[in-house]
Each structure stands twice: as structure tokens, then as C-alpha cells.
Amino acid sequence: MSERHTHYPAWHLKQHGVPEDLCPVATELTPMLPGDWRSFRPVVDRDKCVKCAVCWLYCPVQCVEEHAAWFDFNLKTCKGCGICAHECPQRAIIMVPEAQ
């Protein structure tokens, strides 16, 4: 940072804004959800699911959605950690590679 930009009082910033040469050129930020970088995704075997809600309780991002007879996953927010599959007492959830 150059010497001339070491201190700007708040009133100066409110009145004049942030100097253009103080900030780097902005890039467009796109929201990134956990599902955008996931490498494995959960798949529910609906015949095995007894709707015990253990997957729902352990999911760190709360992506488990309740349906009439089973639970499913919101893949936009699922980060693919596999905790749901590990904790499922019925082994109704498996993690498959995202490419499948």
C-alpha cells in the first residue's frame, strides 16, 4: 500500500468514497454452493429407508429433505461429506462418485 493511503478517516470515506487506486479491480463474484465442488453424492435406497431421521440429525449442512416415505437430499447444498451414509443404521445411503 502506498504511503498516501495509510489512513483515511471515516468522514472522508463517507464523503468521497474509497479511492479507486486503493482497491484492486473487482471481479464478478458468483455464489458458490457446496454442491458445486462436491466429488461424491448420496443416493438413498428407498426400499431400505425406514425414515429414522438419523441422516437428518447428523447432516452438517441440513440438506436432508423429508418426503412421505423416505428422506432425500438437496444436492445444491450437499457437500458430499458422507456422514449421512456412515451414520445410517439401515445402510440405506451410499455415496457415489459425482460423475455417475
pTM for this model (two decimals):
0.66
Confirm if 48 and 91 have CB atoms less than 8 A apart: yes
Query: Is residue 73 assigned to a domain?
Result: yes
Q: In the structure, what pLDDT confidence band is assigned to residue 29 with cuts at 50, 70 and 90?
A: low
Q: What range defines the domain where residue 47 resides?
A: 30-97
Give the C-alpha separation, 92 to 50, whole Å.
9
Query: Is residue 9 assigned to a domain?
Result: no
Give the C-alpha separation, 33 to 31, whole Å.
6
Q: What single-letter DSSP state applies at residue 25?
A: P
Q: Is the pLDDT of residue 17 over 80?
A: no
What's the structural domain count of the chain? 1
Digit-coded pLDDT (tens) for 38-47: 899 999 999 9
Q: Per the structure block, which three cell numbers stand in for 37?
A: 465442488
Give the C-alpha separation, 44 to 65, whole Å.
12
Residue 65: φ, ψ to 5°: -115, 140
- Report the CATH number that the domain containing residue 59 is assigned in CATH: 3.30.70.20
